[in-house]
Amino acid sequence: MKPISVGLVGLGTVAQGTLQVLAKNRQELTRRIGREIEVTHVGARRDRDGVDLSGVRVSRDLMAVATDPEVDVFVELIGGTDYARELIEAAIDSGKHVVTANKALIAEHGNQLFEKAQARGVTIAFEAAVAGGIPVIKAIREGLAANQIQWLAGIINGTGNFILTAMREDGREFADVLAEAQALGYAEADPTFDVEGIDAAHKLAILASIAFGIPLNFDAVYTQGISSIDLDDIDFAEELGYRIKHLGIARRTDAGVELRVHPTLIADTELLANVNGVMNAVQIYGDAVGSTLLNGSGAGSLPTASAVVADLVDVARALTVDPTNRVPHLAFQPNHLNDLPILPIEATRCPFYVRLLVRDEVGVLADITRVLADHRVSLESVIQKEGVEGEAVALILLTHSVVERDLRAALSQIEAFAAVVGEPVVLRVETLGAVL
Protein backbone atom coordinates (compact mmCIF):
# COMPACT_ATOMS: atom_id res chain seq x y z
CA MET A 1 0.00 0.00 0.00
CA LYS A 2 1.23 3.51 -0.81
CA PRO A 3 3.01 5.18 2.16
CA ILE A 4 1.33 8.11 3.89
CA SER A 5 3.10 11.25 2.75
CA VAL A 6 3.85 13.74 5.52
CA GLY A 7 4.86 17.36 5.11
CA LEU A 8 6.47 18.94 8.17
CA VAL A 9 7.31 22.58 8.86
CA GLY A 10 9.81 23.58 11.52
CA LEU A 11 13.07 21.94 12.53
CA GLY A 12 13.20 22.76 16.22
CA THR A 13 13.62 20.27 19.05
CA VAL A 14 10.13 18.76 18.74
CA ALA A 15 10.41 18.41 14.96
CA GLN A 16 13.82 16.78 15.29
CA GLY A 17 12.40 14.42 17.91
CA THR A 18 9.51 13.59 15.59
CA LEU A 19 11.88 12.69 12.76
CA GLN A 20 13.90 10.57 15.18
CA VAL A 21 10.87 8.65 16.49
CA LEU A 22 9.53 8.07 12.97
CA ALA A 23 12.89 6.68 11.84
CA LYS A 24 13.58 4.57 14.93
CA ASN A 25 10.10 3.04 15.17
CA ARG A 26 9.33 2.79 11.45
CA GLN A 27 8.59 -0.94 11.51
CA GLU A 28 6.50 -0.75 14.68
CA LEU A 29 4.43 2.09 13.25
CA THR A 30 3.88 0.22 9.99
CA ARG A 31 2.62 -2.79 11.96
CA ARG A 32 0.17 -0.56 13.81
CA ILE A 33 -1.18 1.25 10.73
CA GLY A 34 -0.77 -1.25 7.90
CA ARG A 35 1.21 1.21 5.77
CA GLU A 36 4.36 3.28 6.15
CA ILE A 37 4.59 6.90 7.26
CA GLU A 38 7.08 8.78 5.09
CA VAL A 39 8.20 12.38 5.55
CA THR A 40 8.47 13.63 1.99
CA HIS A 41 8.59 17.42 2.33
CA VAL A 42 10.12 19.57 5.06
CA GLY A 43 9.79 23.32 5.37
CA ALA A 44 12.63 25.09 7.19
CA ARG A 45 14.03 28.56 6.76
CA ARG A 46 17.53 27.42 7.66
CA ASP A 47 19.49 24.21 7.93
CA ARG A 48 20.00 22.41 11.23
CA ASP A 49 23.27 20.67 12.01
CA GLY A 50 22.93 16.95 12.51
CA VAL A 51 19.49 16.65 10.88
CA ASP A 52 19.58 14.12 8.04
CA LEU A 53 17.12 15.15 5.32
CA SER A 54 18.59 13.09 2.52
CA GLY A 55 15.90 11.99 0.09
CA VAL A 56 13.46 14.57 1.46
CA ARG A 57 12.35 17.65 -0.44
CA VAL A 58 13.29 20.79 1.56
CA SER A 59 11.62 24.16 1.00
CA ARG A 60 12.47 27.55 2.47
CA ASP A 61 8.91 28.59 1.64
CA LEU A 62 6.81 26.88 4.31
CA MET A 63 3.61 27.53 2.39
CA ALA A 64 4.92 25.25 -0.34
CA VAL A 65 4.66 22.36 2.12
CA ALA A 66 1.12 23.28 3.20
CA THR A 67 -0.08 23.31 -0.41
CA ASP A 68 1.98 20.41 -1.78
CA PRO A 69 -0.53 18.15 -3.60
CA GLU A 70 1.62 15.08 -2.85
CA VAL A 71 1.34 15.56 0.93
CA ASP A 72 -1.44 13.71 2.80
CA VAL A 73 -0.81 15.03 6.33
CA PHE A 74 0.59 18.45 7.25
CA VAL A 75 2.53 18.72 10.54
CA GLU A 76 2.92 22.25 11.95
CA LEU A 77 5.73 22.63 14.51
CA ILE A 78 6.78 26.26 14.14
CA GLY A 79 4.66 27.75 16.95
CA GLY A 80 3.09 31.19 17.05
CA THR A 81 -0.47 32.07 16.15
CA ASP A 82 -0.29 34.13 12.96
CA TYR A 83 1.73 32.46 10.23
CA ALA A 84 1.03 29.02 11.72
CA ARG A 85 -2.68 29.73 11.34
CA GLU A 86 -2.20 30.76 7.70
CA LEU A 87 -0.28 27.54 7.02
CA ILE A 88 -2.89 25.33 8.65
CA GLU A 89 -5.75 27.04 6.85
CA ALA A 90 -3.94 26.57 3.54
CA ALA A 91 -3.35 22.89 4.34
CA ILE A 92 -7.04 22.43 5.16
CA ASP A 93 -8.06 24.19 1.96
CA SER A 94 -5.77 21.74 0.13
CA GLY A 95 -7.64 18.81 1.69
CA LYS A 96 -4.87 17.79 4.09
CA HIS A 97 -5.21 16.46 7.60
CA VAL A 98 -3.25 18.47 10.16
CA VAL A 99 -1.15 17.58 13.22
CA THR A 100 0.04 20.38 15.50
CA ALA A 101 1.64 20.87 18.91
CA ASN A 102 0.59 24.52 18.97
CA LYS A 103 -1.39 25.05 22.17
CA ALA A 104 -1.69 28.84 21.76
CA LEU A 105 -3.12 28.48 18.26
CA ILE A 106 -5.65 25.83 19.32
CA ALA A 107 -6.71 27.71 22.47
CA GLU A 108 -7.13 31.06 20.72
CA HIS A 109 -8.30 30.06 17.21
CA GLY A 110 -9.33 26.42 17.50
CA ASN A 111 -13.06 27.07 17.20
CA GLN A 112 -12.64 28.62 13.76
CA LEU A 113 -10.03 26.09 12.61
CA PHE A 114 -12.14 23.10 13.66
CA GLU A 115 -15.18 24.52 11.88
CA LYS A 116 -13.11 24.93 8.72
CA ALA A 117 -11.68 21.41 9.01
CA GLN A 118 -15.13 19.95 9.62
CA ALA A 119 -16.49 21.61 6.51
CA ARG A 120 -13.57 20.29 4.42
CA GLY A 121 -13.83 16.77 5.86
CA VAL A 122 -10.36 16.70 7.40
CA THR A 123 -9.00 16.32 10.92
CA ILE A 124 -6.82 18.52 13.13
CA ALA A 125 -4.97 16.41 15.71
CA PHE A 126 -3.38 18.21 18.66
CA GLU A 127 -2.47 15.73 21.41
CA ALA A 128 1.02 17.26 21.71
CA ALA A 129 -0.47 20.68 22.52
CA VAL A 130 -1.12 19.71 26.15
CA ALA A 131 1.21 17.97 28.63
CA GLY A 132 3.80 16.76 26.13
CA GLY A 133 3.97 12.98 26.06
CA ILE A 134 1.05 12.41 28.45
CA PRO A 135 -1.96 11.27 26.35
CA VAL A 136 -4.41 13.37 28.35
CA ILE A 137 -6.48 14.61 25.40
CA LYS A 138 -7.10 11.09 24.14
CA ALA A 139 -7.86 9.93 27.69
CA ILE A 140 -10.56 12.55 28.20
CA ARG A 141 -11.95 12.52 24.67
CA GLU A 142 -12.06 8.73 24.23
CA GLY A 143 -11.02 6.74 27.30
CA LEU A 144 -13.39 8.64 29.61
CA ALA A 145 -16.17 9.14 27.04
CA ALA A 146 -18.67 7.28 29.24
CA ASN A 147 -18.30 9.86 32.02
CA GLN A 148 -19.64 13.26 32.80
CA ILE A 149 -16.40 14.97 33.84
CA GLN A 150 -16.92 16.89 37.08
CA TRP A 151 -13.51 18.53 37.42
CA LEU A 152 -9.89 18.34 36.45
CA ALA A 153 -6.78 19.85 38.00
CA GLY A 154 -3.32 19.76 36.57
CA ILE A 155 0.30 20.72 36.83
CA ILE A 156 0.58 21.56 33.15
CA ASN A 157 3.70 23.71 33.00
CA GLY A 158 6.97 22.03 33.86
CA THR A 159 8.93 25.28 34.27
CA GLY A 160 6.68 26.54 37.04
CA ASN A 161 6.70 23.16 38.75
CA PHE A 162 10.50 23.03 38.62
CA ILE A 163 10.75 26.48 40.22
CA LEU A 164 8.27 25.79 43.05
CA THR A 165 9.86 22.40 43.74
CA ALA A 166 13.36 23.88 44.02
CA MET A 167 12.13 26.74 46.20
CA ARG A 168 10.55 24.26 48.62
CA GLU A 169 13.35 21.68 48.63
CA ASP A 170 16.34 24.03 48.61
CA GLY A 171 14.96 27.12 50.34
CA ARG A 172 15.97 29.34 47.40
CA GLU A 173 14.28 32.52 46.20
CA PHE A 174 12.22 32.66 43.01
CA ALA A 175 14.71 34.76 41.03
CA ASP A 176 17.59 32.42 41.83
CA VAL A 177 15.71 29.28 40.74
CA LEU A 178 14.38 31.00 37.61
CA ALA A 179 17.94 31.79 36.55
CA GLU A 180 18.85 28.11 36.99
CA ALA A 181 15.79 27.05 34.97
CA GLN A 182 16.90 29.34 32.15
CA ALA A 183 20.45 27.97 32.28
CA LEU A 184 19.10 24.41 32.07
CA GLY A 185 16.83 25.25 29.13
CA TYR A 186 13.60 24.76 31.11
CA ALA A 187 12.68 28.45 30.84
CA GLU A 188 12.96 30.87 27.93
CA ALA A 189 15.01 34.08 28.06
CA ASP A 190 11.62 35.78 28.45
CA PRO A 191 9.87 33.43 30.89
CA THR A 192 6.58 35.33 31.04
CA PHE A 193 4.43 32.70 29.32
CA ASP A 194 5.57 30.04 31.80
CA VAL A 195 5.86 31.81 35.14
CA GLU A 196 2.81 34.06 34.71
CA GLY A 197 0.53 31.15 33.78
CA ILE A 198 -0.26 32.01 30.14
CA ASP A 199 1.08 28.70 28.82
CA ALA A 200 -0.95 26.78 31.41
CA ALA A 201 -4.06 28.85 30.61
CA HIS A 202 -3.82 27.87 26.93
CA LYS A 203 -3.66 24.22 27.92
CA LEU A 204 -6.47 24.51 30.48
CA ALA A 205 -8.79 26.10 27.90
CA ILE A 206 -8.24 23.07 25.65
CA LEU A 207 -8.73 20.50 28.42
CA ALA A 208 -11.88 22.18 29.73
CA SER A 209 -13.43 22.33 26.28
CA ILE A 210 -12.89 18.60 25.75
CA ALA A 211 -13.97 17.70 29.28
CA PHE A 212 -17.20 19.70 29.38
CA GLY A 213 -18.18 20.01 25.72
CA ILE A 214 -17.89 23.80 25.62
CA PRO A 215 -16.34 26.05 22.98
CA LEU A 216 -12.70 27.04 23.49
CA ASN A 217 -12.60 30.20 25.61
CA PHE A 218 -9.02 31.14 26.46
CA ASP A 219 -9.92 34.76 27.25
CA ALA A 220 -12.19 33.62 30.10
CA VAL A 221 -9.45 31.73 31.97
CA TYR A 222 -8.43 33.51 35.18
CA THR A 223 -4.63 33.56 35.17
CA GLN A 224 -2.19 34.27 38.00
CA GLY A 225 1.53 33.51 37.98
CA ILE A 226 4.07 32.40 40.58
CA SER A 227 6.60 35.25 40.47
CA SER A 228 5.27 36.72 43.72
CA ILE A 229 5.44 33.47 45.72
CA ASP A 230 7.47 33.99 48.90
CA LEU A 231 9.55 31.38 50.72
CA ASP A 232 7.71 32.27 53.92
CA ASP A 233 4.43 31.12 52.39
CA ILE A 234 5.98 27.89 51.16
CA ASP A 235 7.19 27.23 54.72
CA PHE A 236 3.89 28.19 56.36
CA ALA A 237 2.01 25.98 53.89
CA GLU A 238 4.27 23.06 54.86
CA GLU A 239 3.56 23.72 58.52
CA LEU A 240 -0.17 23.47 57.79
CA GLY A 241 0.28 20.22 55.86
CA TYR A 242 0.12 21.71 52.34
CA ARG A 243 2.35 22.33 49.34
CA ILE A 244 2.07 25.15 46.84
CA LYS A 245 1.63 24.07 43.24
CA HIS A 246 0.81 26.09 40.13
CA LEU A 247 -2.43 24.43 39.06
CA GLY A 248 -4.84 24.74 36.19
CA ILE A 249 -8.33 23.95 37.51
CA ALA A 250 -11.57 23.44 35.60
CA ARG A 251 -14.72 22.56 37.52
CA ARG A 252 -18.35 22.12 36.49
CA THR A 253 -20.76 23.75 38.98
CA ASP A 254 -24.50 24.42 39.01
CA ALA A 255 -23.78 28.08 38.28
CA GLY A 256 -21.31 27.51 35.43
CA VAL A 257 -17.74 26.46 34.75
CA GLU A 258 -14.69 27.54 36.72
CA LEU A 259 -11.53 28.09 34.63
CA ARG A 260 -8.55 29.23 36.68
CA VAL A 261 -4.76 29.01 36.76
CA HIS A 262 -3.03 30.15 39.95
CA PRO A 263 -0.69 29.13 42.78
CA THR A 264 -2.63 26.72 44.94
CA LEU A 265 -2.24 25.04 48.30
CA ILE A 266 -3.01 21.31 48.16
CA ALA A 267 -2.66 18.79 50.97
CA ASP A 268 0.77 17.15 50.99
CA THR A 269 -0.91 13.72 50.99
CA GLU A 270 -2.45 14.31 47.55
CA LEU A 271 -0.81 12.71 44.53
CA LEU A 272 -0.58 16.05 42.73
CA ALA A 273 1.33 17.55 45.66
CA ASN A 274 4.08 14.99 45.10
CA VAL A 275 4.63 15.61 41.38
CA ASN A 276 7.93 17.46 41.37
CA GLY A 277 10.57 18.95 39.10
CA VAL A 278 9.65 19.42 35.44
CA MET A 279 7.03 16.66 35.49
CA ASN A 280 3.39 17.28 34.56
CA ALA A 281 0.26 15.60 35.90
CA VAL A 282 -3.48 15.91 35.34
CA GLN A 283 -6.09 14.56 37.75
CA ILE A 284 -9.57 14.02 36.31
CA TYR A 285 -12.80 13.16 38.10
CA GLY A 286 -15.56 11.43 36.16
CA ASP A 287 -18.92 10.48 37.62
CA ALA A 288 -18.53 6.80 36.71
CA VAL A 289 -14.80 6.18 37.01
CA GLY A 290 -14.04 8.45 39.95
CA SER A 291 -10.58 10.02 40.12
CA THR A 292 -7.75 9.17 37.71
CA LEU A 293 -4.25 10.66 37.45
CA LEU A 294 -2.01 10.88 34.40
CA ASN A 295 1.60 11.72 35.19
CA GLY A 296 4.70 12.05 33.02
CA SER A 297 7.00 14.24 30.97
CA GLY A 298 5.15 17.36 29.90
CA ALA A 299 7.77 18.73 27.51
CA GLY A 300 11.01 17.88 25.77
CA SER A 301 11.94 16.66 22.32
CA LEU A 302 11.08 12.96 22.52
CA PRO A 303 8.09 13.07 24.91
CA THR A 304 6.36 15.70 22.77
CA ALA A 305 7.39 13.87 19.60
CA SER A 306 5.71 10.78 21.06
CA ALA A 307 2.41 12.68 21.04
CA VAL A 308 2.98 14.09 17.55
CA VAL A 309 3.65 10.65 16.11
CA ALA A 310 0.67 9.18 17.99
CA ASP A 311 -1.47 11.80 16.26
CA LEU A 312 0.02 10.80 12.92
CA VAL A 313 -0.96 7.18 13.65
CA ASP A 314 -4.52 8.22 14.54
CA VAL A 315 -4.83 10.34 11.39
CA ALA A 316 -3.43 7.52 9.26
CA ARG A 317 -5.99 5.11 10.66
CA ALA A 318 -8.80 7.59 9.96
CA LEU A 319 -7.85 8.42 6.38
CA THR A 320 -10.44 6.03 4.96
CA VAL A 321 -13.11 6.68 7.60
CA ASP A 322 -16.22 8.67 6.73
CA PRO A 323 -15.63 12.14 8.27
CA THR A 324 -18.98 11.96 10.08
CA ASN A 325 -17.77 8.87 11.97
CA ARG A 326 -14.46 10.30 13.20
CA VAL A 327 -13.89 11.29 16.82
CA PRO A 328 -14.94 14.97 17.10
CA HIS A 329 -12.16 17.49 17.65
CA LEU A 330 -13.57 18.62 21.01
CA ALA A 331 -14.98 15.21 22.02
CA PHE A 332 -18.61 16.27 21.49
CA GLN A 333 -20.39 16.66 18.16
CA PRO A 334 -19.97 20.29 17.00
CA ASN A 335 -23.71 20.97 17.05
CA HIS A 336 -23.95 19.66 20.61
CA LEU A 337 -21.42 21.92 22.35
CA ASN A 338 -22.89 23.71 25.38
CA ASP A 339 -22.27 27.42 25.78
CA LEU A 340 -22.13 27.16 29.58
CA PRO A 341 -21.31 30.39 31.43
CA ILE A 342 -17.73 30.78 32.65
CA LEU A 343 -17.74 32.01 36.24
CA PRO A 344 -15.75 35.15 37.08
CA ILE A 345 -13.06 34.46 39.66
CA GLU A 346 -14.87 36.47 42.35
CA ALA A 347 -17.86 34.08 42.08
CA THR A 348 -15.82 30.92 42.63
CA ARG A 349 -15.78 29.10 45.94
CA CYS A 350 -12.84 27.45 47.72
CA PRO A 351 -10.89 27.64 50.97
CA PHE A 352 -8.15 30.27 51.26
CA TYR A 353 -4.75 30.77 52.87
CA VAL A 354 -4.24 34.34 54.11
CA ARG A 355 -1.03 35.77 55.61
CA LEU A 356 -1.30 39.08 57.39
CA LEU A 357 1.41 41.14 59.06
CA VAL A 358 -0.05 42.55 62.29
CA ARG A 359 1.27 44.44 65.28
CA ASP A 360 1.01 42.32 68.42
CA GLU A 361 -1.69 44.33 70.15
CA VAL A 362 -4.56 43.29 72.38
CA GLY A 363 -7.83 42.66 70.53
CA VAL A 364 -6.39 42.59 67.00
CA LEU A 365 -7.22 38.93 66.35
CA ALA A 366 -10.72 39.42 67.76
CA ASP A 367 -11.32 42.40 65.46
CA ILE A 368 -10.11 40.41 62.44
CA THR A 369 -12.27 37.37 63.16
CA ARG A 370 -15.30 39.61 63.75
CA VAL A 371 -14.97 41.20 60.31
CA LEU A 372 -14.50 37.77 58.71
CA ALA A 373 -17.62 36.46 60.44
CA ASP A 374 -19.59 39.49 59.26
CA HIS A 375 -18.73 38.45 55.69
CA ARG A 376 -19.58 34.76 56.19
CA VAL A 377 -15.94 33.66 56.35
CA SER A 378 -15.21 30.93 58.91
CA LEU A 379 -11.74 29.78 59.92
CA GLU A 380 -10.31 26.29 59.97
CA SER A 381 -6.87 27.16 61.38
CA VAL A 382 -5.07 30.16 62.84
CA ILE A 383 -1.32 30.43 63.42
CA GLN A 384 0.19 33.52 65.03
CA LYS A 385 3.97 33.67 64.96
CA GLU A 386 5.95 35.03 67.87
CA GLY A 387 7.90 38.19 67.27
CA VAL A 388 9.73 41.04 68.92
CA GLU A 389 7.51 43.32 70.98
CA GLY A 390 6.31 46.26 68.94
CA GLU A 391 7.15 44.67 65.59
CA ALA A 392 4.69 43.18 63.13
CA VAL A 393 4.29 39.40 63.21
CA ALA A 394 2.82 36.93 60.72
CA LEU A 395 -0.78 35.87 61.29
CA ILE A 396 -1.75 32.87 59.15
CA LEU A 397 -5.43 32.17 58.49
CA LEU A 398 -6.80 29.08 56.76
CA THR A 399 -10.48 29.51 55.90
CA HIS A 400 -13.22 27.06 55.19
CA SER A 401 -14.72 27.19 51.70
CA VAL A 402 -15.96 30.68 50.91
CA VAL A 403 -17.08 32.70 47.90
CA GLU A 404 -14.07 34.77 46.86
CA ARG A 405 -15.88 38.10 46.72
CA ASP A 406 -16.90 37.69 50.40
CA LEU A 407 -13.31 37.10 51.48
CA ARG A 408 -12.03 40.01 49.40
CA ALA A 409 -14.65 42.33 50.91
CA ALA A 410 -13.62 41.30 54.42
CA LEU A 411 -9.92 41.75 53.69
CA SER A 412 -10.48 45.25 52.28
CA GLN A 413 -11.83 46.24 55.72
CA ILE A 414 -9.10 44.39 57.60
CA GLU A 415 -6.35 46.10 55.59
CA ALA A 416 -7.60 49.44 56.91
CA PHE A 417 -6.90 48.46 60.55
CA ALA A 418 -4.04 50.45 62.06
CA ALA A 419 -2.53 47.24 63.43
CA VAL A 420 -2.33 45.59 59.98
CA VAL A 421 0.86 46.30 58.04
CA GLY A 422 0.92 46.15 54.25
CA GLU A 423 -1.24 44.04 51.94
CA PRO A 424 -2.31 40.49 52.83
CA VAL A 425 -0.98 37.52 50.90
CA VAL A 426 -3.92 35.49 49.59
CA LEU A 427 -3.61 32.03 48.04
CA ARG A 428 -6.39 29.64 47.09
CA VAL A 429 -6.61 26.15 48.57
CA GLU A 430 -7.79 23.25 46.41
CA THR A 431 -9.54 20.32 48.06
CA LEU A 432 -9.77 18.29 44.83
CA GLY A 433 -12.30 15.54 45.50
CA ALA A 434 -13.53 16.80 48.87
CA VAL A 435 -17.01 18.26 49.17
CA LEU A 436 -16.84 22.05 49.49
User: Which residue numbers are catalytic?
Assistant: 203
Helices (H), 185-300: 192-195, 198-212, 231-239
> Quick one: which H or E segment has residue 178?
helix 174-184
d(CA 422, CA 358): 9
CA 228, distance to chain mean position in Å, is: 20
Half-sphere exposure of residue 62, counting CA atoms within 13 Å on the CB side?
A: 21
| 55-61-65 Cα angle (round to 5) | 60
Q: What are the backbone angles phi and psi of residue 261, rounded to the nearest 5°? A: -125, 125
- Cα separation, 377 vs 215, in Å, equals 34
Helical residues (DSSP H) of 218-291, grouped into ranges = 231-239
3-state secondary structure 358-415: EECCCCHHHHHHHHHHHCCCCEEEEEECCCCCCCEEEEEEEECCEEHHHHHHHHHHHC
| Length of the chain as a residue count | 436
As a whole number of angstroms, the distance between CA 107 and CA 373 comes to 40
Q: Rounded CA gap, 165 and 335, in Å?
A: 43
Q: Say how far apart CA 307 and CA 300 lie, in whole Å.
A: 11
Nearest to 373 by CA among 410, 424, 420: 410
Q: Which of 432, 433, 144, 143 is nearest to 288 (CA)?
A: 144
